[in-house]
A = this chain, B = another copy of it.
Amino acid sequence: MKIRVAVLGASGYAGEELLRILLRHPACEIVAITSRKNAGEDVSTVFPRFTGANLKFVAPDAGELAGKCDAAILALPHGTATEFAIPLLNAGIKVFDISADFRLRDPEQYKRYYKADHPAPELLKRAVYGLPERYREKLRTADLVACAGCYPTSSILPTAPLLEAGLATGRNIVVASCSGVTGAGRKVDLPYIFPECNESLKAYGVIGHRHLPEIEQEMAAAAGVDHLAINFIPHLAPMNRGINSTIIMDAAAGCTMEKIGEVYEKAYGKERFIRILKPGKTSDTKYVFMTNFCEIGYNFDEHTGKIILTSCIDNLTKGASGQAVQCMNIRFGLPEETGLL
């Protein structure tokens, strides 16, 4: 029997990517796709590539959805996600949330970065952070999965094993990331029109971006400390998809290229969706385009004593929808890569 899946907020780019994946997922059946704006329309009106899929958008109604699905994937704006997660969880539906609503374990951090009290702080404890390579065991029994953000996925995967192993000290960590424009969602705003993005590359949100506390939370956990302060600097680049994160960290005494390679081999040698490059090579967004992979390159700079990592993902796949499906596969006991290769 197939998993019956509802996709809430299916008319954005993450929604489109979810449909692309789920439509060829052999163990899933899409039972509902929601969009307030497009309710009543065939999916092909918004996404012509899905002509023939025979799916209609409906207005989101948690009660109705609860009656007919086993899993709900939320590709909703932050805030709205919580509204729908609560009744769905109460109805026993497994919830996989792509928004940022349940990623921060500390409600104080939420308040600081989102300028509002968290609407359901008790759920923060219940939520499992949806990054399979770090939380696979917990995901097997999770009811509420807070899928890792795009920038955090690309930052945490390469750094966590090194922090855990003590090869990096946790000091002076800089994450400089470049993202394609779909990272901003399907947002209709002057900075995102073609002539403004093309031939443009710029940093934004250099102080206090909302993904910062998420990255710090997971890096601190890996380093075994309560808190850890880093610099995270996102940039917008003129491409559709892809994130490249370049990360500079203080190496601990005794760090070498070989040791870094060994730590990665131990941590990720059997991971299906992580590709560790040969020593000294750098990752490229085009090699993960429309895939669920995270490609990681590493270097050790002797002249400054820094570890330099490069890490690429597709922001819509491993950074959002692919990851949600990977988490769902785990939760429902399927092979993790089902529908993702």
Contact = CB atoms under 8 A, between A and B. Distances in A.
A43 interface: no
B202 A193 contact: no
Interface in A170-223: 172, 174, 176, 178, 180-182, 186-190, 192-204, 206-208
A94 interface: no
Contact of A231 (B24, B48, B248, B291): B248
A138 to B, nearest CB: 26
A197 B192 CA distance: 11
Interface in A213-238: 229-231, 233, 235, 237-238
B48 A310 contact: no
A230 B248 CA distance: 11
Interface of A: 13, 23-24, 48-49, 51-52, 172, 174, 176, 178, 180-182, 186-190, 192-204, 206-208, 229-231, 233, 235, 237-242, 244, 246, 248, 272, 275, 280, 282-291, 293, 295, 297, 299, 301, 303-304, 306, 308, 310, 312, 341
25 contacts: A51-B275, A174-B248, A176-B248, A180-B195, A188-B193, A192-B194, A193-B194, A194-B238, A194-B240, A196-B286, A198-B238, A198-B239, A199-B239, A200-B239, A200-B285, A202-B244, A202-B283, A202-B285, A203-B297, A206-B308, A207-B301, A208-B303, A229-B304, A231-B248, A238-B239
